[in-house]
Copies of this chain bind each other. A is one copy, B any other.
């Protein structure tokens, strides 16, 4: 399977979007999410309100649009796990690529997760995105197990629980200011599910 072909147009769009996201994030972090209006961000980025809202469907997405790619990758990673592996191990291992981001850039990710944690609107939106990942992950689990369509409750429940482990581990890591080991926290969370 080939990577998606991206014209110069698309690349330019992505660059602008990244720029806007960074401007927005800096403002939010400095002055607080609720204190900064969409107008403020647009003005700071030298762009109109309309344009800003065309790049991000909502104010929250200026912070959380990174998660969209993560969700897609996550389903891929899960499908790439060896066939014999049990659900919990497969789910846990498919999270590894996310942990890399946190390991490579702790200060950046910490700033972001802190902002999310402090802002109810962002917390809620993150949960929505996570819950949007559930069907894809559940389908991946069902396919791996050769389950009939439509899949029963079990894979959905496991996907949901695993995603909870991820968010809860990240939240705890954030609360510790990054001093705890995120991978260990995630293992601990999964253990709470698999140990009797």
Contact = CB atoms under 8 A, between A and B. Distances in A.
Interface of A: 86, 120, 123-124, 127-128, 131, 152-158, 160-161, 164-165, 168-169, 172, 185, 188-189, 191-194, 196
A62 to B, nearest CB: 18
Contacts of A165: 157
20 contacts: A123-B128, A123-B131, A124-B124, A124-B128, A127-B128, A153-B168, A153-B185, A153-B189, A153-B192, A154-B188, A155-B192, A157-B161, A157-B164, A158-B192, A160-B161, A160-B168, A161-B161, A164-B164, A193-B193, A194-B196
A194 B131 CA distance: 21
B193 A158 contact: yes
B188 A172 contact: no
Nearest to A194: B196
Given A124-B124, A124-B127, A172 B157 contact: no
A132 to B, nearest CB: 10
A192 to B, nearest CB: 4
Q: How many copies of the chain does the oligomer comprise?
A: 2
Q: Considering residues A86, A131, A189, A196, which has the most beta carbons from chain B within 10 angstroms of its beta carbon? A: A189
A161 B193 contact: yes
A92 B191 CA distance: 19
A144 B157 CA distance: 25
A131 B155 CA distance: 21
Contacts of A128: 120, 123-124, 127
Contacts of A160: 161, 164, 168
**Most central of A123, A154, A160, A194 by chain B CB within 10 Å:** A160
A85 B165 CA distance: 23
A167 to B, nearest CB: 8
A134 to B, nearest CB: 9
